[in-house]
Amino acid sequence: MEKPIFSIKKINSGFTLLEMLLVVAAIAILAGIVIVALNPYKQLGDTKNAQRYADVNTILNAVYQYSIDNDGALPGGIPITSCGTFSTNEICNTDANSCDNLVNLSELTLEEKYLIEIPRDPTGSSTNGSGYHISQTSHDRITVCAPDAEQGETIEGSR
């Protein structure tokens, strides 16, 4: 037998376009599943709500310490209402230009004795207000709440 003069060798190197498309589609599907499983909007909302819980407790503790140091007297101007029901019981920012129609708790930040500054809601949606509301009952029970809480949560604390 004679050897053929020309031999045809099949060269298989690299991937076909179809194989590449299948791999890219599989990666896209897996990435979509991971993003849905992690739910970044829920994670971000949970983080903001955790900050709100901490801020509500910080304000409550400062008011409590103030009342201890002042023979049970509360800072002036805390309205007797339900927390979060009226915009007039929103706490004024420390550096606000005007505290008209807001609760001014600047007594807590004088000389940074109780607070360095009034905490602000993580969304920062209020201009002169902190985003947190404060109220008291007729028996001087203080409630601080965060009416802008996300994911349907109710964030408030009382003392």
Question: pLDDT tens digits, residue range 101-148?
Answer: 889 998 999 999 999 999 999 988 777 889 999 999 888 899 999 998
Domain that holds residue 80: 40-158
pLDDT of residue 35: 82
Whether 81 maps to a domain, the answer reads yes
Crossing angle for the helix pair 40-69 and 17-38, to the nearest 10 degrees: 20
- Identify whether 63 is part of a domain: yes
Task: With respect to residue 8, please indicate whether it lies within any of the assigned structural domains.
Answer: no
**What band does 5 get if pLDDT is binned at 50, 70 and 90?**
low
Q: Are 107 and 92 in contact (CB under 8 A)?
A: no
Q: What global pTM score does this model have?
A: 0.76
> Residues with Cβ < 8 Å from 52, sequence gap 6 or more?
121, 122, 132, 146, 148, 149, 155
Q: Mean pLDDT of all residues in the chain?
A: 87
As for how many domains the chain has, the answer is 1
Nearest to 108 by CA among 75, 137, 135, 70: 75
Residue 64's pLDDT is: 94
